[in-house]
């Protein structure tokens, strides 16, 4: 820049023109937003909407979409949009855009959804368990979870203290905890109840111990099979 920019004079001309009431700065970072605010401080009637497209060290998509959302729901922006197209509402614009309904929308599904679609849609909505791991979406009658146990991570360090004859063994209570967490994910939740329904295990048999190692990852697979039941 080799000459005077006259930024303040340009903003004052915009204020006097009275047409623009929103600024969208197209730049890697909003460096002019503060200057625009300072230019508008002396005006008691002009309070523009100043939005960035990008911000340094922030998510680009989130910043841009947030600005677009703010720009689209602003009543002043829609006033000029309707006026530029000679659209005259049947009542005052403030009532048209400000008095939104306060009741909750009905989110009930109105179409049929197959079980395959429900499995894919709900795949990443189930709560994760540190020992149980992530549910694998395979069959309807056989439900499988997979997890990787790394004793070097803080969340699994306590397992290294469970030793028998210098061997680190996965505790029996850990198997029960994984089975309990799996059943809680599968069983339906009863509405209007603070606690989950009780679960009881009977005739438990441990066939083989699971040895853990501090030098390698151990994959643990949990499977629940009920041939006469289809899980969601």
Question: Mean pLDDT for each consecutive 10-residue tract of the chain (232 residues)?
Answer: 81 84 89 88 81 89 84 69 63 56 66 67 64 75 83 89 90 91 75 70 90 90 71 50
Rg value, the chain, Cα? 30
Answer whether 0.75 is exceeded by the pTM.
no
Q: Specify the CATH number of the domain 123-189+199-225.
A: 3.10.129.10
What are the structure tokens assigned to 160, written together? 């290294």
Predicted pLDDT of residue 211: 92
- Measured distance CA(124)–CA(83) in Å, rounded: 46
- Measured distance CA(122)–CA(144) in Å, rounded: 15
Predicted pLDDT of residue 177: 92
Q: Which tens digit of pLDDT belongs to each residue from 153-183?
A: 888 889 999 998 889 999 999 999 999 888 8
- Measured distance CA(128)–CA(182) in Å, rounded: 10
Domains of the chain, residue spans: 7-98, 123-189+199-225
Q: Are strands 163-164 and 142-149 parallel, antiparallel or unpaired?
A: unpaired
């Amino acid at each position: 820049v080799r000459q005077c920019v006259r930024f303040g004079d340009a903003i004052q001309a915009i204020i006097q023109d009275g047409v623009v009431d929103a600024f969208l700065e197209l730049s890697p970072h909003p460096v002019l937003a503060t200057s625009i605010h300072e230019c508008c401080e002396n005006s008691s009637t002009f309070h523009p909407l100043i939005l960035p497209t990008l911000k340094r060290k922030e998510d680009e998509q989130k910043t841009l979409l947030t600005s677009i959302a703010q720009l689209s729901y602003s009543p002043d922006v829609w006033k000029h949009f309707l006026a530029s197209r000679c659209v005259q509402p049947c009542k005052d614009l403030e009532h048209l855009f400000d008095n939104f309904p306060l009741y909750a929308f009905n989110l009930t599904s109105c179409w049929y959804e197959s079980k395959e679609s429900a499995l894919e849609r709900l795949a990443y909505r189930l709560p994760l368990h540190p020992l149980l791991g992530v549910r694998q979406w395979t069959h309807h009658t056989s439900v499988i979870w997979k997890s990787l146990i790394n004793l070097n991570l803080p969340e699994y360090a306590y397992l290294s203290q469970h030793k028998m004859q210098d061997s680190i063994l996965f505790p029996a209570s850990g198997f029960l905890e994984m089975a309990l967490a799996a059943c809680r994910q599968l069983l339906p939740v009863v509405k209007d109840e603070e606690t989950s329904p009780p679960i009881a295990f009977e005739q438990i048999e441990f066939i083989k111990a699971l040895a853990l190692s501090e030098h390698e990852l151990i994959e643990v697979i949990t499977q629940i099979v009920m041939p006469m039941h289809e899980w969601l």
